Structure 1
C-alpha cells in the first residue's frame, strides 16, 4: 500500500513539474525581449520555487497518507489477532440458554450442577460464586453445598455418594483444593464418572487418552474451542504445550494429538525450551510464570494460547506470555484477562448439559 502511494506521489509531482516548467518557459520566452536580465531571472526563480513548493506539499501529503495507513493496518492487525474468550463464552452461553429454554418448554426438569465446597478458601469461594452465577445466567439448575473446614474425608465421600444416586443431579464438581486432611484422589475416585463434569475421574482420563467419548477437563476443552475460533488447521501441525499438569498440560496435549497434531510437552526441566517452542505452529502456555514467553519463543505466524493467570508488582493480572512483546509476531493470541478464563466455567456448563442429555437418551 505504501509503495503504491509513493508511486502516485512521484507521478503527480512529475506531471505538475512538467506543467509548471512548460508554463514558466512559455512566459519567459514570451516576455524576455521586453524585460531586463534581472526580471527574467526572477521569472525563472519563481518557476523553480513553485516546483519545489509542489514537491514539498506532495511529499507532505504522501507522508501523512502513509502514516494513516500504518495506523489503520496496525489497528486492524491487533483486532484480528486477539481472540477474546469472554466473547466466545457469551456466544456459547446464549446457545446453551436457548437449549435449556427448549427443555423447559417440554416441561422436563432442567440440567442441574452440584458443586461441593469444603472450607472458606477465598479463591475457592469466589470460583464457586462465579459458577453459581453462570448457572443462573443460562437457566441451568444449581445446588451449592458448603461444608465446614473440618469436615472429615469420610463425610465428604458419603455426600458424594448421595449425589451420585440423586437423579435430580446431572453433574458433580468438588471444588479443589481440599483441606490438607482430605485426600483429593480418594474423593475424586468416588464421583460417578457419568457425573464427573470436571473430567478428573480416571475413567474419563482413560477415555480421553483412548479417543473415546467422555468428559474432558474444562480448561483444555475451552482451549480447543478457542483454537477453532482462530480457524486453526490442527491436522498435521506442530504443537508445543508448556506445562504438564493433569488439569491443563497433559489433557490439552492429548486433545491436540487426537486432532492429529504433532505434540511436544515442555516443562521446568526441558532443555533448549526456547528453540523447541520456536518450532510450534500452535503454542499453549500454562507454566505459571508471569510474561515467561517472549517473541524469542514464538514462531512467526504462530497461534498462541495463554493459560497463565499471574499478578505483577502493580497487582494487575498478566499471563504467562508477554502479550505486548509477542502480539506483532503471531497470527492469533488470547489475552489475560478475558482469554481462556471465561471459557473454563462455560465448558463446565456445557459438560453438565451433556451429562443431562446422556442420561435422557438412555
Structure 2
C-alpha cells in the first residue's frame, strides 16, 4: 500500500511539473522578445519555484496519507479481543425471567419453585447454595432449601428426594454435589423425577440430549451455548474442539454444539497431538481443570475461546484453564475467569426451573 501511495504521488508530481514547465517555457518564448532579460529570468525562476512548491506539497500529502495508513494498520494489529462477560449476559436473562415471573403472578399463575437439597456443611457447597437462594430471590422465583446433617444415611436422603418428587409445590429439584463420601451420588440423582431434574443429570434427560429431544440440559453447557448465541456466533459448520469429557461439561457441551450443526472434536488426557487439534478450532471450549493449560500455541487466530476452568494459583487468585493474558490478543472473543461462564450456570438453573413449572401446566 505504501508503494502505491508513493507511485501515485510521483505520477501526480510529474504531471503537474510538466504542465508548469510547459507553461513556463511557452511564456518564456512568447515574451522574451518583448521584455528585458531580467524580467524573463524572473519568470523562469517563478516557474521553477512553483514546480518545487507543488512537489513539496504533494510529498507532504503523501507522507500524511502513509502515516494515517500506518496508524490504521497498527490499530488493527493491536485490536483487543471481545471479552465475553457471562455476568452481563446473566443479568439480561435474569431481567427477562423476572418480568416473566411478574407476568405469571399478574395472571394468577403459580410462581415456580426450586428446591435445593444440601447434605453436610462443605464450605463451597454452602456458598453455592446461598448463591442460588439469592438468585431465586432476585427474580422472584420461589426457593426451598433442605439442609441435612453430614451423617445422613442413604435411605434418609432417598426418602427426602421421593417426598420432593411428590410435592406439587416444588417444580425443580437440585441435590448439591459433591455428597459426603458414604452416599451414593448416582443412586440419588437417578431417583429425582426427570421432570423436576433441572440440573439435567438424570439418565432420561441425558438420553434425550443425545437423541436431540426436548429435556433438561446440564446448566453450564447450556450457559455456554447461550453465551455464543447472544454474541450471534453462527455455529453451523464451525470446527469446535472441547477439551474435557466429563458428564457435567465436556460431553454435554459437545452434544449441544453438534445439535447446532458444529463439527466437534473432544480432547482429553489421552489425546495425542492435542495442541495441533486445538489449533484448528474456530470455537475452543476448555474444561480440563488445569490452571493456564491452554496458551496461545493452542489457539487458532481469531477463534472464540470459552474457559470453563476455575482454579486458584499460588497467590490464591482465581484463574481459568486458559492463560488469559497470553491468549487475549490472539482471539476474536474469550470468557474471563471469574465473571465468565460461572454466572451463567445458576442463571440456566433458574431458567430450567421456570420451564419445569410450565411443562407441568401443559
Task: Judge same fold: TM > 0.5, yes or no.
Answer: yes
The whole-number CA distance in structure 2 between the counterparts of 1:155 and 1:63 is 77
Residue 110 of structure 1: SS of its match in structure 2?
coil
CA deviation vs aligned residue, 1:103-143 (integer Å, no higher than 9, x gap)? 01112221110011111111111111111111111111111
| C-alpha distance in structure 2 between counterparts of 1:205 and 1:338, whole Å | 27
Helix, strand or coil for the counterpart of 1:78?
Answer: coil
Question: How far is the alpha carbon of 1:297 from its aligned partner?
Answer: 1.4
Can you list the C-alpha shifts for 1:57-113, whole angstroms capped at 9, x where unaligned? 9899778756764675467x325x222111111111111111001001112221110
Which protein shows a greater Rg? Answer: 2
- Does residue 233 in structure 1 map to residue 239 in structure 2? no
Selected match of 1:78 from 60, 77, 80 = 80
Contact 2:9 2:62 in 1 (8 A): no
| Structure 1 unpaired stretches of 5+ | 20-25, 27-32, 35-49
After superposition, the CA RMSD in angstroms is: 3.6
Q: Deviations over 1:270-328 (max 9, x none)?
A: 11111111222221110011111112212222222111111222222211112222223
Q: Which residue of 2 aligns with 1:354?
A: 355
Aligned to 1:284: 285
Aligned to 2:338: 337
Give me the whole-angstrom Cα distance separating, in 1, the residues matched to 2:66 and 2:134: 52
CA distance in 2, matches of 1:262, 1:73: 30
What SS does the aligned partner of 1:301 have? Answer: coil
**Structure 2 residue runs without a partner (length 5+):** 17-23, 25-36, 39-52
The aligned residue for residue 186 of structure 2 is 185
Aligned partners of 1:127 and 1:188: how far apart in 2? 18
Cα displacement (A) at 1:358? 0.2
Q: Does residue 1:275 correspond to 2:276, yes or no?
A: yes
- Say whether the 8 Å CA contact 1:13–1:58 is kept in structure 2: no
The answer to whether the aligner puts 1:198 opposite 2:204 as a matched pair is no
Instruction: Find the aligned partners of 1:153 and 1:74 in 2 and give their Cα distance.
Output: 59
**C-alpha spacing 1:192/1:69, structure 2 compared with 1 (3 Å):** same
Q: Structure 1-normalised TM-score?
A: 0.82
Q: Is the alpha carbon distance of 1:236 and 1:14 closer, same or farther for their aligned partners in structure 2, counting shifts above 3 Å?
A: closer
Contact 1:6 1:62 in 2 (8 A): no
Q: Equivalent residue for 2:102?
A: 101
What does residue 29 of structure 2 align with?
A: none
Other structure's SS at 1:338 match: coil
Deviation at 1:12, TM superposition (A): 8.2
> 1: CA distance between counterparts of 2:316 and 2:58?
53
Aligned-pair CA distance for 1:155: 1.0
Q: Point out the more displaced range, 228-237 or 248-257.
A: 228-237
Name the CA shift for 1:10/1:217 in 2 (closer, same or farther; >3 Å).
same
In the alignment, the residues of structure 2 paired with residue 238 and residue 7 of structure 1 have an alpha-carbon distance, to the nearest angstrom, of 38
* Equivalent-residue separation in structure 1 for 2:64 and 2:347 (angstroms): 50
- 1: CA distance, partners of 2:59 / 2:290: 52
> Residues 311-356 of structure 1: CA distance to partner in whole angstroms, max 9, x if unpaired?
2222222111122222233232212111111111110000000000
TM-score w.r.t. the length of structure 2 is 0.82
Residue 223 of structure 1 and its aligned partner are, at CA, apart by: 0.8
2: CA distance, partners of 1:97 / 1:183: 36
Within 5 Å, give how 1:154-303 maps onto structure 2. Answer: 154-303=155-304
Match of 1:309 in 2: 310
Between the aligned partners of 2:209 and 2:278, the Cα distance in structure 1 is 25
On the 8 A contact 1:9/1:58 being kept in 2, the answer is no
**Separation (CA, whole Å) in 2 of partners of 1:269 and 1:143:** 42
Q: Name the structure 2 match of 1:113.
A: 114
